[in-house]
Amino acid sequence: LASREFLAGLPKAELHMHLDGALSPAMMFSLAQRNQVKLPYTSVEEIEAAYQFKNLQSFLDLLYQGASVLKHEQDFYDLARDYFAKCKADNILHTELSFDPQTHTDRGIPFDTVISGILRAMDDAKTEWGISSKLVMDFLRHLSAESAMKTLEESLPWKDKIIAVGLDSSELGHPPSKFTEVFARARAEGYRVVAHAGEEGPPAYIWEAIDLLKVERIDHGVRADEDPQLLDYLQKTQIPLTVCPLSNVRLCVFDKMAEHNLFSLMDAGLRVMINSDDPTYFGGYLNDNYFAIADAFPLTRKQALLLAHNSFTSSFIDDVEKQEFI
């Protein structure tokens, strides 16, 4: 079996992590003071105590409220810098982090402010710590397709710095089909494409993400196991699923870790790997997710190696660069 030491030492990539979801309660509290933003909390402990979620929406409400403390380029830098320090500690050699521009542009923060701070932290992480990273731009699916299209257009001057577009936020009631044109335009502009699907939403949303958005990777996708034909398709095509164990338990997708379907997806031959999603909200960074799985299941070294291997093969690093990692 894989010990904690073995898991911590494994070289890993992370492919599903939202930058706003890496804002620690301590940084939220200090940025609120620095930027004079009012929060409904009087201490860091109160923030931590508020993190009890009954579903995805109850979490998103607090995520977007927390993100309101981010105002300046330096704030986005500090946030990303904090995450990269955790990457270093967790032996993450490559990360594909996502950001949600609309969370910020909708409250008047310029797109350029957000992305400049993130890119500066990505450069520094590479230079100082040798951590490779790529940036994914997610659209908020509870907002309109027009708003997503406007965001896509705003991103075009930066398109060489953004590897892919994705889709996140409230899944139920906002199927991938709502964004067919936006994703077609994004692909035409040269972006790779991913989407959250099958987290709370049904297998039909995973099919739509594949057939209409033409995604190369599914974020979450754990509800695929309700559709045998879909499982078969995912096995044959090896479209990766970026699974997030602690997130799924904290958002009540599974009642407890012992009920998670990571192993049944692996046993069905799907290409899956482990990710942290929103580490400061769900009680752990990437290694904590590996540990939580290893605590609930007999995780062998071979299985752990396969998960870590899949994290690199499912990444958007080009084939030449991939040789360095696998």
Active site residues per annotation: 199
Distance CA 69, CA 72 (A): 9
Distance CA 242, CA 244 (A): 7
**Between residues 208 and 277, which has the closer beta carbon with respect to Zn ion?**
277
Question: Could you tell me the two tokens for 273?
Answer: 């790997």
SS3 label, residue 168: strand
What's the closest the beta carbon of residue 25 comes to ligand ADE, in angstroms? Answer: 16
Of 12, 13, 18, 243, the residue at the interface with ligand ADE (CB under 6 A) is: 18
Report which residue type is found at 211. D
What's the closest the beta carbon of residue 23 comes to ligand ADE, in angstroms? Answer: 11
Distance CA 73, CA 233 (A): 43
Strands (E), 35-174: 92-99, 132-140, 164-168
Q: Which does 90 bind (CB under 5 to 8 A by kind): Zn ion, ligand ADE, none?
A: none
Q: Which does 311 bind (CB under 5 to 8 A by kind): Zn ion, ligand ADE, none?
A: none
Contact between 56 and ligand ADE per CB under 6 A: yes
| 218 neighbors 239 (Cβ within 8 angstroms) | yes
Contact between 21 and ligand ADE per CB under 6 A: yes
Stretch that binds Zn ion, among 27-35, 225-233, 269-277, 289-297 (CB under 5 A): 269-277
The binding track of 61-80 with respect to ligand ADE, each residue x by CB under 6 A or -, is --x-----------------
Contact between 277 and Zn ion per CB under 5 A: yes
Of 90, 199, 208, 288, the residue at the interface with ligand ADE (CB under 6 A) is: 199
Please give the backbone phi and psi of residue 61, each rounded to the nearest 5 degrees, phi first. Answer: -55, -45
Residue in the structure block whose two tokens are 């577009």? 165
For residue 252, count other CB atoms closer than 10 A to its CB: 14
By CB under 6 A, what part of segment 261-280 binds ligand ADE?
Answer: 277-278
Residue in the structure block whose two tokens are 């995805």? 56
The binding track of 151-190 with respect to ligand ADE, each residue x by CB under 6 A or -, is -----------------xx---------------------
Please give the backbone phi and psi of residue 50, each rounded to the nearest 5 degrees, phi first. Answer: -75, -15
Residue numbers of the site for Zn ion (CB under 5 A)? 277
Residue numbers of the site for ligand ADE (CB under 6 A)? 18, 21, 56, 63, 168-169, 196, 199, 247, 277-278
